[in-house]
Chain A
Amino acid sequence: MLCTSHLKDEISIYIHVPFCSRKCIYCDFASTTHTELMKDYFENLEKEIDLYAGELRGKHVKTLYFGGGTPSHVPIKYIERIIEKLANYLFLNVEEATFEFNPEDVKHELVKGLFEIGINRASIGLQTSSDDILGVLGRPYTFDEFRKSYSILRESFENVNVDLMYSLPFEKVEDVEQDLKVIEELNPSHVSFYELEIHEEVPLYSMIKNGQVRLPSEDESEVMYDKIVEKMESMGYERYEISSWTKDKPCQHNLKYWENEEYMGFGLSAGSHLLHKRWVNTTEINDYILKVRKGERPTVYESNNSDFEEACETLFMGLRLSDGVDTEKMKKEFGENFEKAFSRIKKFCGEILECSPRLRLTKLGMKFSAMVLRELA
């Protein structure tokens, strides 16, 4: 009993900071360059936290995450105030507090300040080490500038994640190989290596359609993928999730998402999962401010998941992990709903999916994860 009540008392917190100096052509996150809204936004973000006082009160926070947008783009005072606000309701015995940086914002003073208020993990977006491609993507820094920013971060933080992408516009396999050399040299404790996702609403999508931008072919990007997997492994990184690699410090906060644990997100576009309930905030900053100002919760989606949906989502997220999910535990928790969810992907058992004792993607399955995961939608 003690154990269960302790679990229920624990929650992870996400704070979304949507401001950016410019919008990258591929970005589909909720972000804005209207920094004049900053003051309003943070005032209302504090208010939003108040609106959930009931859900938050008395809970313990083990992981905290400031994501964006670009949290590093806003004055540190706003961050301090948010932490103070959270401390009003929650026990902040935080083991991992992550803060996202863009290379152009990293300054000694900011980094020191964040370290002093309790941030202990930094995540920095490099995306690619090719200056040419950075230019195409609209990222406002060069690789040399990134390198300086990275060293500044490392002065304060032991645990630093570097974000990289592959299959980028005009990218060649050699570019990816260069990225891998950079990882070898910088030796960060954590690396996220994403394949570029292209959503219809971003400028890059129409640039590709118009033929202005050429992307690597399916086959080329498969070669890139293979190179990444091979080289990261040989450098001693462990792949614990589809796109996440670490030497010894998996991201505790993200693990909560993938294990489908409970978390609450505040700010634009943030999502929450609590007591089988899922809700997501609006992605429109004006909408957000107006709603919260009126004392309304700024959600655009709320759903009480059925046990079956919950089982599907638990599998959907859990299969992203190299360890997959614990079949026995899921059977106990979801019963026949687990069987029903599992039946959708049973056909992959074998080369793609290891089905006992744990249910998890094989190495080959990781490569074609989308094929399996989409069956759960």
Chain B
Amino acid sequence: MFDNSLIRNISIIAHIDHGKSTLADRILELTNSVEARKMHAQYLDTMEIEQERGITIKAQPVKILYNAKDGKAYEINIIDTPGHVDFSYEVSRSLAACEGAILLVDATQGVEAQTVANAYLAIENNLEIVPVINKIDMPNANVEETQRELYDTLGIRPEETLLVSAKTGEGVPELMEEVVKRIPAPSGSPEDKLRALIFDANYDPYKGVVAHVRIFEGKLSTKDVIEMMSTKATHEVVEVGIFSPYMTPTNILSAGEVGYVAASMREAREARVGDTITLAVNPAKEPLPGYKEAKPVVYAGLYPTDPKDYEELRKGLERFKLNDAAFVFEPDNSSALGFGFRCGFLGLLHMEIVVERLEREYNLDVIATAPNVVYEVEMNNGETVRITDPAKMPKEGTYLRIREPYVDLSIMTPVDTMGAVMNFIQNEKRGEFVSTENAGKNRVTLNFKMPMSEMIFDFFDKIKAISHGYASMDYDFAEYRESKLVKIGILVNKEPVEALSTVVHESKAYKVAKALVESIAEKMPRQQFEIPIQATARGRIIARATVKAYRKDVLAKCYGGDVTRKMKLLKKQKEGKKRMRMLGNVSISKDVFLSILSIGKEDKN
């Protein structure tokens, strides 16, 4: 068994593309931790999507042995963190499992908003930070400016920073020495009552749910009966082990170590990220701090492209949920789309990843409707309901107020684009300016409070365009605020179609309504007759567009012998049309309906 003082638990904090996975690969190489033949580039990103997009979604821990210059062999656990803002809670739990973090910044791109946010998270968790400037081999590397930005944003002095090239390996051995020197060893005692933090979990077809844990105090062995402190549920441990880098059984894990626990758990929610594991006999008094239940903030409908795949989709979602406790779903059906599911996600990227994984790993053909945030509605009787589907927004007059989620948004952008960004967020996105901070020679950090719904459409692209590609941002849920929201209803041929309704701030009602009806009218194929598409708000029609009537028809010519035949043909068409009615009294295919429901989806990235 290792001595506690020879353990280092670390994370690597970096923005997408700043070279985190490459650095991890170099470290694994340096320590001969992965056999060459098993090592495909970028070991830590094991999911296909992660490798394609170059981002980390599921944190993947790895344990390595490092022979330091002091002659001792150190056990270093690298706990990787998801690289996207939707997973900030997961990031915070991964960080909580460590004593230190490598803060990796790209010398060609400088400090990014999200990196700063995660660095603050690390500081809040009392982590020792080892700042590293990467890509120093690149011709456009600007080490000095990057050092200045680190000082401006995080107060890190230039002499503290290490310079590396993860690509060539330059500076990596020196970095490892500094990790051992600067980052403290874990402090808990193996003799105390067991407290282990679950910082991640995955589903294994043979072992069930596997919890990734950091043992803070005590010991954990095979056959122990453990208790989940948030739910009091107990399980018998079937297997414990370490990641070296693949799951390797060890029979025991003790204070300071990082590893995994399998205990015949069937569902992801039985091992919740942030929960504390203790022993059922002689349990710890207090759980580790910081547990939160992950709550979905964005909802969307998922429908099978082919209705007969509904069962397949349900099974796929159930299997998927085993792996992802943050994902929720419930059956939903719409008169136009048939049967599907209303699904909750941590954010827009989470949603996109779920849809993509369902298609790739579960072989399902899925169509997602446009996402929406969750509204809180205080009803006349004092009850508060959460509305996850705008179509189900209660009627005008039945509620006292509606609240919508706001985010704390910080945007780092070059000074010369500051005005444009401010203008966009304040005038077009209902954002409120909070503060500004220096972030390097020509950069500032702008802080806002903004309704989350404003991020759903036409946000990320616009910010990138306004800042000529230089802005980076970070956001986190802040609070629910009362807001003057209106439900926009859509009438197709004068009949309401609930599935098309949406909720917007009253200041935007006209603009959104107009865009919506025009888009619907454009996407609908021509009909047998002209169809008005109208948008209503507060019982009034506020926008209108028209779907054109067919012209191609069978009445171009009609002479003496044709009268009867044409009349019969038209009657037959009329009857056929009656059978096709789907949307109000207008026949419309499901494809078209879905394309209407996903309006704006293409604007998102």
Contacts and interface: CB of A to CB of B under 8 A. Distances in A.
A257 B559 contact: yes
Interface in A185-204: 192, 194-197, 199
A263 B557 contact: no
A265 B560 contact: yes
B353 interface: no
B561 A270 contact: yes
Given A167-B552, A317-B558, A374 B564 contact: no
Task: Count chain B CB atoms within 10 A of each CB in A199, A301, A316 and give the residue with the most.
Answer: A316
B560 A371 contact: no
A320 interface: yes
Task: Count chain A CB atoms within 10 A of each CB in B529, B556, B567, B568 and give the residue with the most.
Answer: B556
A368 B571 contact: no
B558 A222 contact: no
Interface residues of A, number: 42
B562 interface: yes
Interface in A12-38: 14, 16
A196 B553 CA distance: 9
Nearest to B525: A218
A197 B567 contact: no
Contacts of A222: 551
B526 interface: yes
A100 B553 CA distance: 25
Given A242-B555, A257-B563, A270-B561, 4 more contacts: A194-B556, A225-B551, A371-B549, A374-B528
A316 B562 CA distance: 12
Interface in B562-605: 562-568, 570-571, 573-574
A377 B559 contact: no
A14 B553 CA distance: 25
Given A194-B556, A269-B561, A320-B558, A377 B567 contact: yes
Interface of B: 525-526, 528-530, 549-568, 570-571, 573-574
Contacts of B565: 280
Contact of A195 (B551, B560, B567): B551
Given A254-B559, A257-B559, A368 B574 contact: no
A313 B526 contact: no
Nearest to A367: B551
Given A218-B526, A377-B574, A194 B564 contact: no
A195 B552 contact: yes
Contacts of A16: 561
A303 B568 CA distance: 13
A273 interface: yes
Task: Count chain B CB atoms within 10 A of each CB in A222, A243, A370 and give the residue with the most.
Answer: A370
A43 B526 CA distance: 49
Q: Which 8 A-B pairs have the closest CB atoms?
A: A377-B570, A271-B561, A370-B553, A194-B556, A371-B549, A195-B556, A257-B560, A374-B570
Contacts of B555: 242, 369-370, 373-374
A195 B556 CA distance: 6
A273 B562 CA distance: 11
B266 to A, nearest CB: 49
Contact of A197 (B554, B563, B574): B554
A14 B561 contact: yes
A41 to B, nearest CB: 17
Contacts of A256: 560
A221 B562 CA distance: 24
Contacts of B568: 377
B561 A265 contact: yes
Contacts of A242: 555-556
Given A218-B550, A371-B529, A316 B563 contact: yes
Contacts of B562: 271
A55 B282 CA distance: 111
A125 to B, nearest CB: 12
Contacts of A142: none
B429 to A, nearest CB: 35
Contacts of A337: none
Interface in A279-308: 280, 301, 303
Contact of B557 (A221, A243, A265, A370): A243
Nearest to A272: B560
A278 interface: yes
Contacts of A225: 551
Contacts of A273: 560, 563
Contacts of A320: 558
Contacts of B563: 257, 271, 273, 278, 313, 316-317
8 contacts: A199-B554, A225-B551, A243-B557, A269-B561, A271-B564, A317-B558, A369-B555, A371-B529
B526 to A, nearest CB: 5
Contacts of A367: 551
A374 B556 contact: no
Task: Count chain B CB atoms within 10 A of each CB in A199, A218, A269, A313 and give the residue with the most.
Answer: A218
Contacts of B566: 377
Task: Count chain A CB atoms within 10 A of each CB in B558, B560, B570, B573 and give the residue with the most.
Answer: B560
A273 B530 CA distance: 33
A259 B390 CA distance: 55
Contacts of B559: 67, 254, 257
A243 B556 CA distance: 7
B561 A194 contact: no
Interface in A361-376: 367-371, 373-374
